[in-house]
């Protein structure tokens, strides 16, 4: 725990996905909220078919969903959200001819029903 899901639009061709995931994992680890870096799992999905709004102008997005075991305070969740958003924003040069939306959503996972096993 936690699980980070990053979705990004296919028109963000300059996005270094592996570097982005590592950076986001480092933000989470630096927060002091997680016991081991081994517990942080992130993945990325490129969205080929998408529409942002109704305009035909070039637009794209990166949306992060972070699933956490329940029990953290609203203040801690806000700090995690803001830290991830800042890391996304600072990832590099954004296309000058495209509007890009960045978002972070935190989701609570029921602590009592979450199960996990490590093999190997």
Contacts of 116 (CB under 8 A, 6+ apart): 1
Q: Which domains does the chain have, with CATH numbers?
A: 3-109 (3.30.429.10)
Per-residue pLDDT for 119 more than 90? no
Per-residue model confidence (pLDDT) at position 116? 83
* Nearest residue to 50 via CA among 18, 19, 94, 9: 9
Per-residue pLDDT for 92 more than 80? no
**pLDDT band for position 89 (cuts 50, 70, 90):** very high
């Amino acid at each position: 725990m936690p699980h980070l899901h990053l979705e990004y639009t296919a028109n963000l061709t300059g996005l270094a996905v592996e570097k982005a995931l590592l950076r986001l994992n480092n933000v989470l680890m630096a927060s002091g909220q997680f016991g081991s870096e081994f517990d942080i799992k992130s993945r990325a999905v490129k969205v080929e078919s998408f529409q942002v709004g109704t305009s035909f102008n070039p637009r794209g997005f990166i949306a992060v969903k972070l699933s956490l075991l329940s029990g953290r305070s609203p203040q801690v969740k806000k700090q995690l959200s803001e830290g991830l958003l800042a890391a996304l924003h600072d990832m590099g040069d954004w296309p000058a001819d495209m509007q890009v939306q960045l978002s972070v959503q935190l989701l609570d996972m029921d602590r009592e029903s979450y199960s996990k096993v490590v093999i190997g």
